[in-house]
Copies of this chain bind each other. A is one copy, B any other.
């Protein structure tokens, strides 16, 4: 029996976010310039925090005087994306730590959901507070929201 948070098989998406590839994302080769993918990934993470967890980045930064920086990324770019493509970004939590979280993020063309991944990415985010150096434990309410999301995600997977 495989553990819920370290799956060997592809996960069903727990959170999806659509973004269209615009002129601003594309390079002289006519495909998405890879730093722009990370802007799109960050927008996906922001949307997930706001709509799934109830903690917008505005709330985290302004009200909580905190941040959720990305501290590690591992990404394979598999298939180019072109101007006008509508991408479906899929975010899955693979580990919840005391002050960190691991995410698995992929993107496919929204109208071809079984088509090739544009990229597969894993990343680690940590919770930080402006008044102390280094990472800090997740606040109780945010941790509860994360755990609640993971429970729903796992039900979706099984």
Which bucket holds chain A's interface residue count? 35 or more
* Majority-rule SS of A interface residues: mixed
A46 within 8 A of B: yes
Q: CB-CB < 8 A to A74: which residues of B?
A: 73-75
Please pick, from B35, B75, B83, the residue contacting A62 in the complex, using a CB distance under 8 A. Answer: B83
A70 within 8 A of B: yes
Please pick, from B35, B58, B70, B82, the residue contacting A42 in the complex, using a CB distance under 8 A. Answer: B35
A36 within 8 A of B: yes
A141 within 8 A of B: no
7 contacts between A and B (CB under 8 A): A22-B43, A24-B35, A29-B61, A29-B67, A34-B42, A56-B84, A74-B75
